[in-house]
Structure 1
Amino acid sequence: MTELAFIERSFVNFRDHSFPDGSGHGFRWVDLKSFRFPRDCRDPELLTAVVTHEEFRDDYAGGGVGPDGLRHGPYWLGAVSLDGYQPVSRDKAALVLKEWANQYGSLPGSLEDALDATLRMTVSSASRLYCLRDLGSGAFHDWGGVHGDFHEFVAIDDNRQVLTLLVAADD
């Protein structure tokens, strides 16, 4: 089994930036978790490794990572598997994330800079990207509908041997 070594977590909270209307646009954020992987790993091995990693056990609603956690975002952990991920192009991933980020209007420059340094850099440097498809409401955990939007991508960067789990959501 492929082992991933957790490197770091980056978090961009929209509320930390001043919007022209003063709103901060609710509870919106981007969470990136980066992992080092060994050379010559195949994508199914990497996707399986990230889904089974302790850092994946995150409800993304304030509970944080729980070693015995049963939730991942809006879904029961057991509902998320390798089959839930589909390949996506850089352009498509960038478009989804841009539309999500700008859905309420233009962003302040400081937030654009923070997103460029994290989210967009991760997408543009990826050798391959995968998107977690909508698993449907049947996969929701007991309070899984709390996220207004939940976008998850896995970015695999072969040059740096880094896999990044990227979640952009609002709750």
Structure 2
Amino acid sequence: MDNRLAHEESTFINFRRYFPNPKEHGFRWVDIRQLRFSADSVDDRGLLAALIGHEQFRDDYAGGGVLPDGLRHGPYWLRLITPDLYESISQETAVQILRGWVDPLWDVNTELEADLQREVFARLAAADGIYYLSELGDEAIHDWGRVHDYFHEFVLIDRSAGRIMLIVAADD
């Protein structure tokens, strides 16, 4: 485990709270993990490596929570995830991916929109770097990793605040 990062807080936005009918986004959610890093931390790739090595990264996002000795991350085998798989993207691209996933027509409940703005979009706007986990391919999918219909993962680095955020938007 990497000691350069300290977990500060987690936020979970479950769309079921906003839509009484599960067929209307009821199985979608956003999980946000915020970790602090020291001012003397390494470059972005080094921070990505530290995040991958942190226990908060060991979550299959299928109900089991963080498993300190876990072998899975989302739908993927943890051992196959490296910093090089993360693509640097613009804030505009990240927003486009997320808004398209939430609802292509952006016909979203007002309360959900406010929560997403505060917890996700404001953090995207403040980030110095935004990284998106590329599709890893079938060989990286673990033994029951296809429980997610969509799995979008972003890592935000905010150097002025000394924070790295792992944002996973998925549905199952």
Calculate the TM-score normalised by the size of structure 2. Answer: 0.93
Q: Secondary structure at the match of 2:136?
A: coil
Change (3 A) 1:67 1:18: same
| 2:39 is aligned with 1:39 | yes
Gaps of 5+ in 1: none
Identity of aligned residues (%): 46
Q: Secondary structure at the match of 2:120?
A: helix
Aligned length: 170
What per-residue deviation string (whole Å, max 9, x for no partner) do you get for residues 19-77 of structure 1? 6x674423100000000011143111100000000000000011110011110000011
State whether residues 17 and 24 of structure 1, in contact with CA within 8 Å, keep that contact through their aligned partners in structure 2: no
Change (3 A) 1:104 1:72: farther
| 2:64 is aligned with 1:68 | no
Q: Which residue of 2 aligns with 1:121?
A: 122
Which residue identity lines up with residue 122 of structure 2 in the other structure?
Answer: M
Q: Secondary structure at the match of 1:95?
A: helix
By how many angstroms is 1:104 displaced?
7.2
* Cα RMSD (Å): 1.6
| 2:54 is aligned with 1:56 | no
Q: Which residue of 1 aligns with 2:113?
A: 112
* Distance in structure 1 (CA, Å) of the matches to 2:23 and 2:79: 36
Q: Which residue of 2 aligns with 1:144?
A: 145
Calculate the TM-score normalised by the size of structure 1. Answer: 0.94
